[in-house]
Amino acid sequence: MTVIKQTSIFGCVLLLALVCGCAADLEHSSDKSGSGGSIDKSPNGVFSIESDDDSSAKTAKVAGREIIYTASVRLVADDFDTFPERLAQIAIEAEGFIGEADIAKMQGKRRSGSWVIRVPSTKYATFMRAVIGLGVPESVKEKANDVTDKFIDLQARIKSGKQLEEQIIKLLERQGGQLEDILTVERELARVRMEIEQKEGQIRFLENQVALSTISVYASEPTTFTPEQTKPFSQRITGEWQASLLRARTTFEEIAVWFAANGIILVGWLIGLCLAWTLFIRRLWKLLGRQQ
């Protein structure tokens, strides 16, 4: 009887999984057939940057689509000293933030820096236009990744998983058999719930990427630092002589300070040595007198 019950449970679970899976596939295919639209690009493959007045037109082009915008900008800053502050200011104005910054200032080399900024997708075009205006652009790369199909697929899988979860819960409530059969159904329920949580996490990640665009900015200054010129021979000799005198003075002062701090101890040692030497000489003199 236990075998028959277990077989019936597995059969019910398998049947529910097949039914829900078919329903999800049907819904997925219907959503795909109904979803359309494309992204317009310029002839050179780079997305054009619209003005604020064209933001509604841009939204209309990608209505109903989930798009992740990423960009990379390399430019020569006209004023590198104030560039980080100006970049941070336009990021704040675009309601974004700087997620990563790395500035290199090495003597004798051209100063440079890299930043990773996250801004809302609705402010993407405005921010890109402002960044390019901070200097002379050397290269601008933009990419739009349409993840609408991923969203539809994940949502369909989550929906079918939740339907299967409800059916398993109902089956578990009706089941009053052996403990082993109940544990088998509960393990299947736990597996379904784990898959649902994984899919929901993937959707949250995609939503974050869609909501906030990622822009990588690399900037450098237009000129290089001029290294310090080599001094004439006479100035080098004079400098070394002054440095040696300074070192000698410093050494003498340190010795004087040491003697002042340990003067009493040195006097005591000196008196002791004098007494010991005097006694030694006297004893030696006596020995020599006896031998004669």
Give the mean pLDDT of 150-162.
Answer: 87
Q: What is the mean pLDDT of residues 190-197?
A: 88
pLDDT interval class at 176 (50, 70, 90): low
Q: Output the pLDDT for position 20.
A: 45
pTM for this prediction? 0.50
Neighbours of 114 (CB within 10 A): 15
Per the model's pLDDT, the better-predicted residue between 195 and 29 turns out to be 195
In which band, very low, low, confident or very high, does the pLDDT at 127 lie, cut at 50, 70 and 90? very high
Burial of 232 from C-beta contacts in 10 A (0-12 / 13-18 / 19+): exposed
Output the pLDDT for position 213: 93
